[in-house]
Amino acid sequence: MQRSNIWYHLYPLGFLGAEERNPAPGAEDASESGRLRDLVGWLDYLVDLGVTAVLLGPVFESESHGYDIVDPFRIDRRLGNEQDLTQFIDACHQRSLQVGLDVVFNHVGRGHPFFVDVQQRKQESDRCGWFHIDFDQPGYDGFSYANFEGHGGLVTLNHSNPQVLDWAVDVARHWMQRGVDAFRLDAAYAISTDFLAAFSDRVRADKPDVTLIGEVIHGDYTATVQASHLTTVTQYELWKAIWSSLNDRNFYELAHALQRHAEFCEHFAPWTFVGNHDTTRIATKLTDSRLVPHALAILFSIPGMPAVYAGDEQGAEGTKYDREGGDAEIRRPLPHAPADFPGDSLPLWRLHRELIAVRRERPWLEQAELHVTSLDNRAITLEMRSPSGTLVVALNTDDQPAPCNIPAGLAPAAGHAVTAPGATELPPREWGIWSST
């Protein structure tokens, strides 16, 4: 059985301040940077925070942002080399932290050698079958090709080609042999479930406990997990409902999303989050910063696999824009290194640590039954039940106190949970967690 993890998700190219674009192969400034070694200095910070696993965004050789892969068997020169990564993995494992890597199997960058071969040799290239090429249609290269969501720099792979599947499995095997415990499959929603299932089965034949996280934006999450044989998928529905319900002071939206979430949890543990490398920072997204703790209380209490996006625990801000380069604000280095942590960021960091501790002390929450036990526009009470215990979360976004009924036998665990069980009143814009264990 896989252990219950609390993930810390970071985007290395931004976190470590790498250049925006990779220098051309052979350029004088193309030497390996060794930036990945700097990540080891953050591990004690993460252990103190309480997370149990680290997910690294793209670390493989690419042209720019990491998702335009050129060589998935090689570490991006802006970050370092394979030894730097394996030393990081070893340092994580010494601290009982698992490690996941972001992999891209839906597309490659235009500079990938196989596509370059097609550019140079056209129909004579034996790599044509790796892509969706139409030599009868004009294009930038003298032919047209399928790309990812209109981005010409991202060349879509042909997932019906068995060689593409073999390549993807080889990539995963290469890094599992070097200690990787999990993979996040970028743009999994754009890949056929047949391909994903075959990939999952073959990878698990080598490492049965590997965690496979599919990036899925919307749709039937349960059907996707079952058809693809993935471990989990990203819970974007719930992400949207959390910030939207808090901004609109409308917990009916959250309740609807939580009902669907509970149904998903009957089949798998969804990957839950309030921010990631593709979304506006939660501290920016919420119109009332006093409600950030409410979002965190939801994240760390409900069933699923919770993930913290690097910097959210420090109150980092940034907006995601729908334009070229629109990710810059949400992927930059963290505001503060562990050694110079300022006082004004400490309360939020401590709140993350407190709520992560609540979660770690109750691993049964990952697969608990979730119920909404009281509901109003501006107040909601959630109950998580398991044979191992019960946990209740009450949230109030109103400017007035809100009543909430806490079952007898529960003790305060976090937040404004300071009154005795029974008839309880939450102060304005407050929250509380009560637990039987």
CATH code: domain of residue 402: 2.60.40.1180
Same domain, yes or no, for 274 and 403?
A: no
Same domain, yes or no, for 397 and 294?
A: no
Phi-psi region of 43 (alpha: psi -120 to 50; beta: other; left: phi over 0): alpha
Q: Encode the chain (437 residues) as per-residue pLDDT tens digits.
A: 345 799 999 999 999 999 999 986 655 455 668 899 999 999 999 999 999 999 999 999 999 999 999 999 999 999 999 999 999 999 999 999 999 999 999 999 999 999 999 999 999 999 999 999 999 999 989 999 999 999 999 999 999 999 999 999 999 999 999 999 999 999 999 999 999 999 999 999 999 999 999 999 999 999 999 999 999 999 999 999 999 999 999 999 999 999 999 999 999 999 999 999 999 999 999 999 999 999 999 999 999 999 999 999 999 999 999 888 899 999 999 988 887 876 678 899 999 999 999 999 999 999 999 999 999 999 999 999 999 999 999 999 999 999 888 888 899 999 987 655 555 789 999 999 999 98
Residue 1 in any domain: the answer is: no
CA-closest candidate to residue 107, choices 164, 172, 156, 167 = 156
Distance CA 33, CA 55 (A): 21
Distance CA 259, CA 241 (A): 12
Last-in-domain residue among 367, 382, 417: 367
Same domain, yes or no, for 318 and 381?
A: no
Distance CA 421, CA 383 (A): 14
Residue 204 in any domain: the answer is: yes
Instruction: Read off the DSSP letter of residue 131.
Output: B
Same domain, yes or no, for 240 and 289?
A: yes
Query: From the CA atom positions of the chain, what is the Rg in Å?
Result: 23
**178 HSE (CA, 13 A, CB side):** 19
Per-residue model confidence (pLDDT) at position 1:
39
Residue 56 in any domain: the answer is: yes
Instruction: Read off the DSSP letter of residue 315.
Output: T
What are the beta bridge partners of residue 307?
7, 273
Which CATH number fits the domain that encloses residue 49?
Answer: 3.20.20.80
Distance CA 72, CA 164 (A): 13
Per-residue model confidence (pLDDT) at position 25:
61
Last-in-domain residue among 337, 367, 397: 367
Same domain, yes or no, for 243 and 319?
A: yes
Last-in-domain residue among 367, 393, 421: 367
Compute how many other C-beta atoms are within 10 angstroms of the C-beta atom of residue 320.
20
Same domain, yes or no, for 66 and 128?
A: yes
Same domain, yes or no, for 388 and 326?
A: no
Compute how many other C-beta atoms are within 10 angstroms of the C-beta atom of residue 205.
10
User: Is-contact 383 404, C-beta < 8 A?
Assistant: no
Compute how many other C-beta atoms are within 10 angstroms of the C-beta atom of residue 290.
12
Residue 238 in any domain: the answer is: yes
Instruction: Read off the DSSP letter of residue 289.
Output: G
Residue 380 in any domain: the answer is: yes
Residue 236 structural domain: 7-367
Same domain, yes or no, for 351 and 413?
A: no
User: Is-contact 11 57, C-beta < 8 A?
Assistant: yes
User: Is-contact 393 367, C-beta < 8 A?
Assistant: no
Same domain, yes or no, for 287 and 410?
A: no
**Token output for 73:** 């068997």
Same domain, yes or no, for 150 and 109?
A: yes
Distance CA 258, CA 298 (A): 10
Sequence-ordered list of residues with C-beta below 8 angstroms from that of 47, at least 6 positions apart, any chain: 95, 97
Residue 2 in any domain: the answer is: no
**Token output for 126:** 């034996």
Residue 260 in any domain: the answer is: yes
**How many domains are there within the chain?**
2
Same domain, yes or no, for 399 and 314?
A: no
Same domain, yes or no, for 346 and 401?
A: no
